Structure formats: C-alpha cells, structure tokens
C-alpha cells in the first residue's frame, strides 16, 4: 500500500522559497507578498489519481494528475510558464518532473512522522517546506 497524502495541510516552515522564486523570475513586489504567505494544501488521493489544491490569501493553484500520465501545467497565478509534467512514485516519495523552459524544475512530496514535506526545485535552487495536518 502506498503512502496516503490525503488531508488538509498547513505550512509551518519554508527554507529558500526566495531562491526558488528568484529562479522562476518572480518580481520583487510579488516575492515580498508571497514569502509572507502560509498556504494550505488540500490533497485528495484515490488510487493513482491525485488532486492538490494550494490556497493562500494572495493566489491559489490547483493541479490534478494520475501517476505516470503526462499532463499540461499552466502554472497560472504562479510564473505562468507552461510545462509538461509527470508524477511518479520513488518508493514512498511522490516525484513531479516539470519539463519546460526552466531546467531541473519539479517537486517532491513525502511524509515523515506527522509532517508533510515538499521540496520545490528550479535550476540550482531547492526550497524545502514543511506542512502539518490541519
Ligand atoms: O505545489 O507546485 O504540492 O501544485 C509555488 C509558488 C504565491 C504566488 C506554489 C502563491 C511559486 C506568487 C505552488 C503560493 C512562486 C509567487 C500559493 C507549489 C510563484 C509565484 C499558491 C506547487 C505542488 C505540490 C502542487
């Protein structure tokens, strides 16, 4: 049985979100607002189907995918760059590769204890976030 990421998760800490945003070319004013946000994630997992709704006071983002099936991402409200994304399992980690204009773009989710981890990568930058169950 794979790990179950389902639930409502609140951001508790974030490391190098600034570096990640810089790598994505997010402008100063937007970064200033974005780094103060405490997003909430609602993850629904049913077999190989996932949806992840990330909500914040400023912008929100929704994504839906099936393991191993490539999909188009528009990153609307984020950096707006389109990419082809695919999510696979790496043991108990959920790994998304986002192919597009930016090298080495993607994210990884895993659970440790009662915490949900998210690593966001773009070019040389890695941002690590920790979420706790709401
Ligand atoms: O999550 O890809 O759970 O989609 C990354 C923000 C900030 C907007 C958030 C809004 C990148 C302004 C999505 C933050 C910076 C800054 C809340 C992370 C871009 C713009 C939406 C993500 C995955 C994995 C699912």
pLDDT per position as a tens digit, 57-100: 999 999 999 999 999 999 999 999 999 999 999 999 999 999 99
Residue 30 corresponds to which tokens in the numbers above?
Answer: 């937007």
Tokens at residue 54, please? 């990330």
Q: Locate the ligand 1 atom nearest the alpha carbon of residue 30 and give its number.
A: 12
Q: What is the whole-number distance in angstroms between the Cα of residue 79 and the centre of ligand 1?
A: 9
DSSP labels, 90-125: ETTEEEEEEESSSTT-EEEEEEETTEEEEEEEETTE
Nearest to 100 by CA among 116, 131, 78: 78
Reply yes or no on whether the pLDDT at 1 is more than 80.
no
How close is the Cα of 2 to the center of ligand 1, in Å? 25
Q: Which residue has the tokens 């188009």?
A: 72
How many whole angstroms from 47 Cα to the centroid of ligand 1? 24
pTM: 0.97
94-133: pLDDT as tens digits: 999 999 999 999 999 999 999 999 999 999 999 999 999 9
- CA 106 – CA 122 distance, rounded (Å): 7
pLDDT category of residue 13 using cuts at 50, 70 and 90 = very high
For atom 10 of ligand 1, the residue with the nearest CA is 59
To which residue do tokens 């990640």 refer? Answer: 20
Please give the pLDDT value at position 99. 98
Substitution candidate for ligand 1 out of 32, 54, 95 with most atoms within 8 A of CB: 54
The interface predicted TM-score of the complex, written ipTM, equals 0.97
């Amino acid at each position: 049985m794979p790990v179950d990421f389902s639930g409502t998760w609140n951001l508790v800490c974030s490391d190098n979100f600034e570096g990640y945003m810089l790598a994505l070319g997010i402008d100063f004013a937007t970064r200033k607002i974005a780094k103060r946000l405490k997003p909430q994630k609602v993850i629904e997992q049913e077999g190989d189907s996932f949806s992840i709704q990330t909500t914040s006071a400023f912008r929100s983002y929704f994504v839906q995918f099936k393991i191993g099936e490539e999909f188009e991402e528009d990153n609307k409200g984020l950096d707006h760059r389109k990419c082809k994304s695919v999510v696979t399992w790496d043991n108990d980690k959920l790994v998304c590769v986002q192919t597009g204009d930016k090298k080495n773009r993607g994210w990884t989710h895993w659970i440790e204890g009662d915490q949900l981890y998210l690593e966001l990568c773009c070019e040389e930058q890695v941002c690590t976030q920790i979420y706790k169950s709401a």
